[in-house]
Structure 1
Amino acid sequence: MADWGPVFTAVMLFILLSPGLLIQIPGRSRYIEFSNFHTSGVSILVHSVLYFAFMCIFLLAIGVHVYIGS
């Protein structure tokens, strides 16, 4: 049995935390901007730190596990 929890968690967080797709921290004119499809080096750094923190929380602290199969 394969544990698909880390894979699903990583893919969903990658989609949700892509800078400029749904949210961008920090934005160009405001601290938080929504759906602007722009990015900067600082926002890439902030989003990658958030991605790492959420991955650690979901996989190590909470322990998300998804088993598929018989």
Structure 2
Amino acid sequence: MHDWAGPLTAAALFAFLSPGMVFQMPGKNRPFDFMSMKISVASIFVHTVIYGLLLVLFLVVLNIHLYV
């Protein structure tokens, strides 16, 4: 059996944490923008750090597994 937790968690977090898709932090005009579809270098960096920390939390600390 293959463990699908890693790829599915990474794909879901990547889709949710794409800057400008659902939210952007920091935003262009405000600290927190929703559905702006515009990005900046600062927001890319913040979203990358949050993505990496959540991925480590789910896969290493919580040790989730999904067998299909």
Query: Which aligned segments of 4 or more residues in structure 1 are displaced greater than 4 angstroms?
Result: none
Q: Does residue 24 of the first structure (1) align with residue 31 of the second (2)? A: no
Number of positions where the alignment pairs a residue of Structure 1 with one of Structure 2: 68
SS in 2 for 1:2: coil
Deviation at 1:64, TM superposition (A): 1.2
Deviation at 1:38, TM superposition (A): 0.3
- Aligned mates of 1:49, 1:31 — CA distance in 2: 17
Q: CA RMSD in A?
A: 0.4
Amino acid at match of 1:63: N
1:34-70 deviation per Cα after TM superposition (whole angstroms, max 9, x unaligned): 00100000100000000000000000111111001xx
Percent sequence identity is 40
In the TM superposition, 1:46-57 aligns within 5 A as 46-57=46-57
The aligned counterpart of 2:14 is 14
Larger Rg: 1
Q: Structure 1 length normalisation: TM-score?
A: 0.95
- Aligned mates of 2:48, 2:58 — CA distance in 1: 15
Structure number with the higher strand fraction is 1
- Aligned mates of 1:65, 1:5 — CA distance in 2: 5
SS in 1 for 2:64: coil
